[in-house]
Structure 1
Amino acid sequence: MSKQMIRVTYRIETPGDPEAMAAKIAADQSTGTFTPLPGETAALRARHAARVVSVTEIAPLPVPSLPEAGGHPGPFRRADVVIDYPLDSIGTDLAALMTVTMGGVFSVRGVTGIRILDLDLPDAFAGLPGPQFGIEGSRRLMGVAQGPMIASIIKPSLGLGPDETAEVVRRLCEAGVDFIKDDEKMMSPAYSPLAARVEAIMPVIRDHAQRTGRQVMYAFGISAADPDRMMTNHDLVVAGGGTAAVVNINSIGPGGMAFLRKRSQLCLHAHRNGWDVLTRHPGLGYDFRPYQKIWRLLGVDQFQVNGIGAKYWEGDDSFLRSFVDVTSPIFSDRDRALPVVCSGQWGGQAFETWARTGGTLDMMYLGGGGIHGHPGGPAAGVRAIRHAWQAASEGLSAREAVERDADLRAAFETWGR
């Protein structure tokens, strides 16, 4: 790929000819329209027109992904299509990139399905800020030099006042977690405003740090539709001695994220709620790979990617692809994000997670109910998870690990399946 090209891979579905549809998309999203134009000269096209690089047909479908077949009986042909867009036509602004290459394609007439599979960017985009902390910075802030970073979340997710939340934080700190976060639904409601939570929680964090020599990272929910309000929230956390924030990236949008990252002193933990509507239909939307590249370049440090045996719809193979995506460099190791393995996690999934992620420990392992709901209490829940990870890294099976640890055995008796 030329250093002056932005390359996008699409999966298109159409009752017609995929090659003709690919050419239409390239024209519509660059210099062309529905009719020849006197100003669209050969010289202009040479500089600014998108170009179809390849069209690779895959198995057709008997029914369309979208009800736009116009009575066509099928089959509906599918192809993976690679299109190059000249950098000169777009520049390095991510709003322009998303508009041209990822937005308008969904309005093309004649496609019954279209999905964005990948996004390859030239080196000109390497100047975007990217993660401020990433994997190594997260480890440093948490004081965890090696092994998975064991994390938890405030439960119940909603309804606790500031002092009640602080008590949960105290119990989790004593249980031995490395990281605690507000639920993504918790921002600044009237019964628990952010300023009051910071005031109640940070003394607990500091007291624990003074007694143990290690400060647990707490991520406060600071998201707001108004970027100025979000920065005020950010400043409240920084002034209180906090080190991290939960950011609902789809809610604040790329502009809000760029505004925050430019000024941020906090480690930014991305929750992708709303992502499912962009990806859940296999014939429409985005794969995680191009989506997460945008957000990492905007400044995400820690990225939630679900986990093995997640409580949500996403399957294990999808999780594993997401895990690999966020840990693969875009331009350098500096732009890798810390994968946050979450969603219904407890000690039992550590063994398969270890095996299927290639034996890496560069992850945050986030247990909510899997810590709070342990029959022996949160401390037992944390011990069970730590024992599971130690056993997995030593090559023990889950059965062998259970025989050696009562807390993990109790977790399997509660949630094992």
Structure 2
Amino acid sequence: MGISYEDFLDREYEPHESDLCCRFSIEPAADMSWADAAGRVASESSNGTWAELTVDGSITDLSAVAYHIDEDRGEIEVAYPEALFEPGSMPQILSCIAGNIMGMKAVDRIRLLDCEWPAPIVEEFPGPQYGSAVRSELLDAGDRPALATVPKPKVGLSTDQHAEVGYEAWVGGVDLLKDDENLTDQSFNPFEDRLIESLARRDDAESETGESKSYLLNVTAPGAEMLERVDMAAEHGCEFVMVDVVTTGWAAVQQVRQRCEHHDLAIHAHRAMHAAFDRVPSHGVSMRVIAQIARLCGVDHIHTGTADLGKLENEDTVGINEWLRGDCHGLRDVLPVASGGLHPGLVPELLDRLGTEIMVQAGGGIHGHPDGTRAGARALRAAVEAGVEGRSLEAAGADCPELATAVDKWGTGTPR
């Protein structure tokens, strides 16, 4: 049989329940019609090629189908048959739906906007081990947002300094100390030393406060070394690990998820480098899809933005968070993390936009407090508890001088 680009376009096609359906925004090249461009996207991302082929027998059961074109919105929809994908391999799936098509000359721009994941594909992935349940199962946050902080400066502190900042933040009311994306195993703050000393100070903080505290330990590393760091975290009594999920790659995330299940550890996903894919609105892969991939691969929380309140560009934080909390063929939910330029004065608006089923992370908004880290942590905790209770910052500040000081310093404005 002969196969050409036209064979990958069928506007009458009704996707099967087992199809992976992807929505793209595209800008066809100047010499391409919408139909031609859509057919080429479906062809290149499945089993087509630029030359018309003659093949004995049928291979159309492995062909993607561009079944919807909306020129007004600049979008197309493509259905991929389940059999096209290796079960449980996120790298292979992405090589199809976000692979060569990102560089095709047939489109000037192309962006993977959203995916509808069918049950047969989802069931091949573990999903989160804890999800939002970490707030009560591993921490004492209950129904309020879990609170985390990164020591600042995020690199350059010695191990002793890092652990002491963690202690001050924990005692002040924060639940979690967190490494930042570029702190792993450098000479000024070695991984194992940092793990041991931070957990020792964590134990001190737990004894002093009577609350469960923990540490989001960055285990990001090449291959086997990362799994050894996961083992080390468990050996020393840490309940969480952190992975830079984009830079380390989805195959590595899947390996970490498997190892973490063995140790009953939760996974905190840092999204460093995500903007290389999602910042340009007309090209790449949306943060919504990155978050979906992370959920299937099994992270328990992931940074999704601050709904434009912080220092970073954001993309539909509310919609992404809703997807992470919603049903996905029985997978556990994911706890969204709001971070990047937050301080206590932004908390009321943040909770109004995103709700309380989140993790709130502040760095400079804690450690930059005029009275130090412990006071900054108290201010953030007071602001969050006030927001959950429906009290104003002014009323809460009357009971918490540290919060009043923070609001005097930063107000309710957004940093850049």
What TM-score comes out, normalization by structure 1 length? Answer: 0.88
Match of 2:367 among 372, 375, 379: 372
Structure 1 window deviating more from structure 2 (50-59 vs 341-350): it is: 50-59
Give the structure 2 partner of residue 190 of structure 1: 187
Tell me, in whole angstroms, the C-alpha distance in 1 between the residues paired with 2:226 and 2:26: 38
The residue number in structure 2 matching 1:413 is 408
Q: Deviation per CA, 1:10-50, whole angstroms, max 9, x where unpaired? A: 10112332122111211222232222211165x321x1211
Q: 1:407 to 1:388 in 2, by over 3 A?
A: same
Aligned to 1:25: 41
Could you tell me how far apart the structure 1 residues matched to 2:204 and 2:408 are?
A: 35
- Give unmatched runs, 5+ long, in structure 1: 60-78
Q: Distance in 1 between matches of 2:237 and 2:327?
A: 31
Matches within 5 A, 1:309-324: 309-315=308-314, 318-324=316-322
- Residues in 1 aligned to 2:255 and 2:352: alpha-carbon distance in whole angstroms: 39
Deviations 1:133-178 (A, max 9, x none): 2110343111222211122112221112222222112211221211
Within the candidate set 162, 166, 169, 2:163 is matched to: 166
- 2:150 is equivalent to residue 153 of structure 1: yes
How far did 1:284 drift? 0.5
**Which residue of structure 2 aligns with residue 285 of structure 1?**
284
Match of 1:181 among 178, 181, 185: 178
- The equivalent position to 2:381 in structure 1, one of 364, 381, 386, is 386
Change (3 A) 1:401 1:198: closer
SS at match of 1:228: helix
1:58 to 51, 67, 72: 72
Structure 2 counterpart SS, 1:142: coil
Report the Cα distance in structure 2 between the residues aligned to 1:174 and 1:397, rounded to whole angstroms: 24
Fraction of identical pairs, as percent: 27
Deviates more, 1:306-315 or 1:272-281: 306-315
1:304-345, CA deviations, whole angstroms, 9 ceiling, x for partnerless residues? 122145543414x6333333333233223x431111111111
Deviation readout 1:339-389 (Å, 9 max, x if unpaired): 1111111111211122222xx321111111111111232233223223322
Q: d(CA) in 1 for partners of 2:56 and 2:213?
A: 60
CA distance in 1 between partners of 2:139 and 2:56 (Å): 56
Decide whether aligned partners of structure 1 residues 199 and 286 sit closer, same or farther in structure 2, where only a CA change above 3 A counts: same
Partner of 1:95: 91
**Residue number in structure 1 paired with 2:4:** none
- The amino acid of 1:122's aligned partner reads P
What is the match of residue 263 of structure 1? Answer: 259
In structure 1, how many angstroms separate the alpha carbons of the residues matched to 2:400 and 2:211? 26
Give the whole-Å Cα distance in 2 for the aligned partners of 1:260 and 1:18.
Answer: 41
- 2:230 corresponding residue in structure 1: 234
> Where do 5+ consecutive residues of structure 2 fail to align?
1-14
Of 117, 121, 126, the residue aligned with 2:117 is: 121
Which residue number in structure 1 is paired with residue 26 of structure 2? 12
Distance in 1 of aligned mates of 2:252 and 2:114: 24
Aligned partners of 1:151 and 1:364 also within 8 Å: yes
Using a 3 Å threshold, how does the CA distance of structure 1 residues 406 and 149 change in structure 2: closer, same or farther?
same
Any idea what SS the aligned residue of 1:350 has?
helix
SS at match of 2:316: helix
Q: Aligned equivalents of 1:25 and 1:268: distance in 2?
A: 34
Distance in 2 separating the partners of 1:343 and 1:90? 36
Counterpart secondary structure, 1:58: coil
Q: Confirm or deny: 8 A CA contact 1:128 1:297 kept in the other structure.
A: yes
Farther-moved stretch of structure 1 (49-58 vs 29-38): 29-38
When the two chains are superposed, the root-mean-square deviation of aligned CA atoms in Å is: 2.0
User: In structure 2, what residue type is equivalent to 1:329?
Assistant: D
CA 1:406–1:207: 2 relative to 1, 3 Å: closer
C-alpha distance 370-102 of structure 1, shift in aligned 2 (>3 A): same
**1-structure distance, mates of 2:307, 2:24:** 27
Amino acid in structure 2 at the alignment position of 1:87: E
Aligned match for 1:325, one of 320, 323, 326: 323
Aligned to 1:273: 272
The separation in 2 between residues aligned to 1:192 and 1:183, in whole angstroms, is 13
Q: Distance in 2 between matches of 1:348 and 1:181?
A: 22
TM-score (norm: length of structure 2): 0.88
Report the equivalent of 1:348: 345
| Distance in structure 2 (CA, Å) of the matches to 1:306 and 1:253 | 21
Count of aligned pairs: 391
- Native 8 Å contact 1:293 1:330 kept in 2: no
Residue 104 of structure 1 aligns with which residue?
100
- State the SS of the aligned residue for 1:52: strand
**How far is 1:8 from its partner?**
0.8
